[in-house]
Amino acid sequence: MRNQLVRWGLPWALALGLLLNAAYPTYRHYDFSHSLDTRSYLRLASGRFDSVNVTRRYRLLVPLAAGALARPLAALGTPGGPTRQAGEWPLRTAFYLINCLLLSAAGACFYQCARLAGAGAGPAALALAAVLSSRWAGYAAGLPLTDSLYLLVFGLGYHAVRRGLGAAWALALTLLVGPLAKESFVFLLPWLLWYGRRALSWRGQALALALGVGALAAAHFWVDKAAGAAPDTSVANAFSHLENLTFSLRKAFSIKGLAELFSIFGLFWLPVLVALARPGGRRALAPVLGGAEAALLVVVAGHMLLSADLGRMGYLLAPVFTAALALSMGWVRAGLVPTPLAGPSRVR
């Protein structure tokens, strides 16, 4: 038990320390006037369901947790500095703290996935730090959003697939929380059920998924009743996302779209691309070039095309990319960069 706490606690603490620092400027200075998503989640945290777009109305876990944490924070009084809108700062601070905690837990999963792929502790930690330096991590941790929970779902799911036996808890938690994290979880579900069967039996998967879907149905009923909305509005809204396909494809093959894709992980793409270009590098990356990773790439691509937000959804590939980057670093250190030769021995 103690070894497990250390094995998970150290990468979690590393991720938390990085995120609390990196996401603070976004949390403190972000302009909410042009962000419909953040304003919607702030309303959800305040219990105002009727004024929230149906796309985001049922993603309740993070907003409700932020609303609960905001109440004791509000009792502390308004912090010093520029005057803020009354009642806003406790909610924003609560989202910041909860999202940093959730995303750091996801980061611990990314680290474990890299270790399970065969990366050393040092390269895995460096790769985790690199992946969390992405601007999308700063947004997910610093803003009133629910991306942190969905990234945790992807991290837990990939960890369960990589480890197999012994990771039943991770897959069960993924199937329980996933339906409430985001509606597009339905596209990840077949991948989880097929590649996660070594971690959890079909019966266990069915039970966990039934509980998750039941919780989602209860959330829909409660929110629809509170908002006075028709139950079929969410179905119509889901199909409306198909209109984004053509726009997303055009964007992906434009200069702007390619730049947005590159900016997901920035220059940290380069070690992976260098490794892929060489036979020795491809052998080193073999653990993350399997069918599970290829299928997950298709799932993430589907998220990107349906949302039209290529960079933000592309960051869902973070668990696989962390492992690939860690393995690339290990290969570069071991094979590509020559080891300095020892000098001539001194004759005595």
pTM: 0.89
Tens of pLDDT, residue by residue over 244-301, are: 677 777 877 888 889 989 999 999 999 999 999 999 999 999 999 999 999 999 999 9
C-alpha to C-alpha distance for 212 and 157, rounded to whole angstroms: 15
CB 94, CB 137: distance < 8 Å: no
Is the Cα dihedral 13, 309, 316, 209 positive or negative? Answer: positive
Tens of pLDDT, residue by residue over 137-165, are: 999 999 999 999 999 999 999 999 999 98
Mean pLDDT, the chain, integer: 87
C-alpha to C-alpha distance for 37 and 143, rounded to whole angstroms: 10
Query: Residue ranges of the domains in the chain?
Result: 2-73+88-334
Comparing 61-70, 208-217, 235-244, 263-272, which segment has the lowest mean pLDDT?
235-244
